[in-house]
Homo-oligomer: A and B are copies of this chain.
Amino acid sequence: MIRFAIIGAGRIGQVHARAVAAHPEAELVLVYDAFEAPAKALAEAYGVRHTLDIDEVYGAGDVDAVIIGSPTAMHVEHILGSVRGGKRVMCEKPVALELDEATRCVDELGDEAGRVMLGFNRRFDPSFAEIHARVADGEIGQLQQLTVTSRDPQGPPAEYVAGSGGIFKDMTIHDFDTVRFFLGDIVEVSAFGTNADEAIKAAGDFDQAMIMLRNADGALATIVNSRTCSYGYDQRLEAFGSDGALSAENLTETSVRKASASQTQAQGPVLNFFLQRYEAAYSRELGVFIDAVNNDAEVSPNVVDGVEALRLAQAATQSAREGRTVRL
């Protein structure tokens, strides 16, 4: 039985608390938040204790592993503190908003970096993971082109945008990790950002983007992003290889299709957002982390993958702002 503390009692902390409670080998024992109300509410929901003192988490003798869902600005501090306290760590993406800070985190972690898991949950999505495994098995020959479509159902409020680090670090970072998951290290990035949303534009960020990437072997990827999507959370992937292609389609709540005078084959909207769409991914992600803790093993993706995704986000930002291809 692995005993967990959760740092950050917000929406994502609640998701992880539920996953921990449901896992037969996991047990929640402690909740930390900088504010009393959410810490207490989450702790009481699971009948465990809470604290406002982060050092209590680092030093807790009855905590084996920590899940970090605090604001991004605190991630590096919480990672380093937890690791120094002898805890295994799973941290939400991104590692940090600035590449320098993320790099510093990895440097300070040293050999421990490979053991700090980063919450790129899409790697654990059953469909994406299946495609990855089948590509790795050589089922479509040499992987040549990757197409990632990733559109959120609704844009964030402008105030969120201001502190988000921009669309590439906040939203595309998941897709950058997906590209790295399939293509490995990237050597060239070109990005176009644009605005359909005036409020986000006024906040100085893009709300739509397209990005092209190339790896050292010359394989290409394209990412299509939008902060809004009328028909739900549009999350698709196509891997094209020399011997075939594998694609993951969107998910709908049921398999019902309708035919009427105006149309046929109509399905419902796609699952609305990440908690629904990636529910299975969150659960599998925790399972992989727990296995690694049980086996005292390194994890993938880890904080180094977080740094590399952030490097791509920074390159994309630069490319879109300066109108040029960025070489890494």
| Alpha-carbon distance between A141 and B196 when the two chains are bound, in angstroms | 12
Q: How far is the CA of A140 from the CA of B261 in the complex (A)?
A: 10
A325 nearest in chain B by CB position: B323
Bound Cα distance from A190 to B246, whole angstroms: 26
A208's contact among B126, B144, B247, B255, by CB below 8 Å, is which?
B144
A195 at the interface (CB under 8 A from B): yes
- Contact across chains for B242 and A230 when beta carbons are under 8 A apart: yes
B220 touches A192 (CB 8 A): yes
Establish whether residues B210 and A212, one from each chain, have CB atoms under 8 Å apart when the complex forms. yes
Interface pick from A86-94, A100-108, A266-274, A285-293: A266-274
Identical chains bound together, number = 4
Are the C-beta atoms of B323 and A147 separated by less than 8 Å? Answer: no
If A144-B196, A256-B130, A266-B265 touch, whether A210 touches B218 (CB-CB below 8 Å) is no
Chain B residues with CB below 8 A from A266, complex form: 263-267
B259 touches A264 (CB 8 A): no
Residues from chain B with a CB closer than 8 A to the CB of A158 are none
Tell me how far the C-beta of A181 lies from the nearest C-beta in chain B, rounded to whole angstroms: 15
Query: Which B residues lie within 8 Å of A131 (CB)?
Result: 256
Whether, in the assembled complex, A214 has its beta carbon less than 8 Å from a beta carbon of chain B, the answer is yes
> Provided the pairs A140-B260, A231-B260 are in contact, do residues A127 and B265 lie with their beta carbons within 8 angstroms?
no
Instruction: Give complex CA distance A239, B271 in Å.
Output: 20
* The 8 residue pairs across chains A and B that have the minimum distance between CB atoms: A244-B260, A266-B266, A231-B259, A127-B254, A194-B218, A249-B255, A190-B190, A263-B266
Residues in A lying within 8 Å of B, measured CB to CB: 22, 126-127, 130-131, 134, 139-142, 144-145, 147, 149, 151, 188, 190, 192, 194-196, 208-210, 212, 214, 218-222, 224, 226, 228-232, 240, 242-270, 319, 323-325, 327
